[in-house]
Amino acid sequence: MSEKVFEALRERVKSEPYAKMLGLELVKVESGYALIRMAFSERHHNIHGRCHGGAIFSLIDEAFQIASNSSGKIEIALNVNVSYMKAPREGEVLTSEARLVDSSRRISHFLIEVRNAAGDLMASCQATAYRRDEPLPFL
């Protein structure tokens, strides 16, 4: 069933309006894992002409969403705690990598890191999701 779930998630991300608007691209999905890419551009600017924290948060949240739902069950965010370390430069390609750290029947915990192409840590996140009994509706 895993490959069926992964393929369904790939297709959903391709048609997700918010991901398209921000230029988020799903690079890799595995069980409890996702890698998302975003090229920082003018559309991500804040009032200072720097990368808006919301754009980086969205990059993190996309990886979290895919990694947590890779279980094939609906998982909903309970808590997301982000620390921003470094602001990206215009044109930098950022990746967000979400990894399952621990899970129980109902709760899953993830570590999510955002890095630039040089490998510099831009943001770090700990996130918790609640797992429902229902399968993803688009399977």
Domain that holds residue 10: 2-135
Where residue 22 sits, what CATH number does that domain have?
3.10.129.10
| 43 SS3 class | helix
Quick one: pLDDT band at residue 137, thresholds 50, 70, 90? Answer: very high
Q: What is the pLDDT of residues 47-102, one digit of tens each?
A: 999 999 999 999 999 999 999 999 999 999 999 999 999 999 999 999 999 999 99
pTM of the model: 0.96
The letter for the amino acid at 18 is Y
Q: What is the mean pLDDT of the chain?
A: 96
Task: Count how many domains the chain has.
Answer: 1
Cα–Cα distances in angstroms (integers) from residue 105 to residues 71, 99, 130, in the given order:
11, 17, 9
Residue 111 pLDDT > 90, yes or no?
Answer: yes
